[in-house]
Structure 1
């Protein structure tokens, strides 16, 4: 009898959760092409950063190379006056010294504006990415007085590394930094994967520092989101919102999640046609404890045209309707 009651309670709780999820509002993301960083024969562009605006110019950084994966790449950047027509400016960050922790590839960049300077976070590898299951990818940072560079690497090594404990969610790799300034500190959200796990089992964690250059300490509550292959977070209403793609438990995929404390995330929106490995225009939200609204647009990896044959990844724009803070509660 106790067993039957337990099953009944479990089923009832599951149905209640599903029903509650079904009542959530829906956000439909739209997509459009851009000029200057779109599809180009023989050129791979992918993994764009968040976008910032300096004076009247928008900036975006991204991985650029000649093969489809971003694992033999360097970091490039482009500028725009309207977010649609872009001018590629060239390489922002080259590979590190041969044999160094970032000597084989630098990719998946993101940007932080803090303390009057620009901080370019990136993923680096010392050898061919994911060769066997040896942990290799780590997160580093470079700094500049200008968004146009030149960029100087901070320190002699990475600021976030994979865990040495095989059972941790990030024991295989860490990647894809995204920064939020809150509570007088810098919160670096990232994705991690456990040793022996595949891309579909990627999860999200956060590391916190009092200074943009670190040291970053991983939060004891990690992983803070049990899924998501691309990290896209932003501050909103005093908390942190996260766009979740197609990777992870079905209960959270294709959604926006929210955490008032930056740690305990709950699902708040369903998302239709969400961005693919995108970054958003961050406006003023690198200010400490920003409490404004949601981002309106960003840059993502473009989707190949059906019947168009194989094509290297390229960049395009996506636009997000207003996400109400009321629904984030």
Structure 2
């Protein structure tokens, strides 16, 4: 082995060791903070929905957060015919009570063949700002099949009404995977979740590094001065060293995040809290955590400083003999720290 090869191998090993050390430090820090405070418990219960529930031969998954417009709840989701959702288009449903839903039709079709969103559009979420509706969505150019590996990016479509029609922004994609192979999101990005804080637009998302598995997905944030962007990634991403699904909401003057089953054990199946939106610590354990959930977050875009624990939402339901569907969840919080003056 020549000296150049030895040097390159040394540098590669050093980079891997530093990345591992950084991740371990982040998890250890979260665990240490959690030990200094009492941890509450969140219990989740589930119930069927009409209109967008289990249906033979139909896949509905990855529902957005829920918004209420003129007394009507709106949700968007991926709809297709295969379980993973990589053949999907984006659809919308409405409800007056959060239990009985009416599917309104397709909100966004696949992009033109050969483009970054030509094979599928999926995992939608919504931002309400400047009296308009901004539909964030993930797209991929690759057709699902054997050896499939998504190359996802995130785009935005805008409308004057939650009922559409939706117009894609000419500046799409709004967020791309990193060109730096060492970054946590160098392979793909997905799963937008939006908040308005301090007059700016906070765009939380998940990312995966080249060579990593889905189980090693982490969470980052990008921020913009306008709803259409440009969104600039936080220089110290990732902000959470795990989480395959992204759901955040305003709580008091800070940000809470629900963590699913993916990530380091100290933070899975939990709720984390951050005063500044960047540095999170554990506040609650979750019993029966939902999958790829979206929540009703009435304070998400208001900057009121009065956000509370979420009370209900929707997620991916599973039932033998059916493709994924949308199911309701309700939240019961015990030993809540939301009103603690020293948090």
Output aligned runs, 1:80-229, within 5 Å.
80-128=95-143, 136-229=151-244
Cα distance in structure 2, aligned partners of 1:200 and 1:303: 20
- Unmatched 5+ stretches in structure 1: 1-12
Kept in 1: contact 2:133–2:161 (CA 8 A): yes
**Deviation sequence 1:40-76 (CA, Å, 0-9, x none):** 0010000000000111110000000001011110000
Q: Which residue of 2 aligns with 1:249?
A: 264
Cα distance in structure 2, aligned partners of 1:252 and 1:217: 26
Specify which of 33, 36, 39 is matched with residue 24 of structure 1. 39
Cα distance in structure 2, aligned partners of 1:254 and 1:243: 8
Distance 1:64 1:135, change over 3 A: closer
Pair 1:320 & 2:320 matched: no
Offset at 1:100?
1.1
**Deviation sequence 1:248-274 (CA, Å, 0-9, x none):** 000100000011000001111111111
Consecutive aligned runs of 4 or more in structure 1 exceeding 6 Å deviation = none
Specify which of 45, 49, 60 is matched with residue 64 of structure 2. 49
Kept in 1: contact 2:33–2:281 (CA 8 A): no
Cα distance in structure 2, aligned partners of 1:203 and 1:157: 23
- Aligned to 2:116, the other structure's residue is in SS state coil
Pair 1:38 & 2:53 matched: yes
Distance 1:181 1:128, change over 3 A: same
Kept in 2: contact 1:129–1:136 (CA 8 A): no
TM-score by length of 2: 0.86
Distance 1:150 1:191, change over 3 A: same
- Aligned to 1:195, the other structure's residue is in SS state coil
Cα distance in structure 2, aligned partners of 1:172 and 1:142: 23
- Unmatched 5+ stretches in structure 2: 1-27
Count of matched residue positions in the alignment of Structure 1 and Structure 2: 313
Cα distance in structure 2, aligned partners of 1:21 and 1:302: 35
Kept in 1: contact 2:107–2:165 (CA 8 A): yes
- Aligned to 2:215, the other structure's residue is in SS state helix
- Aligned to 1:320, the other structure's residue is in SS state strand
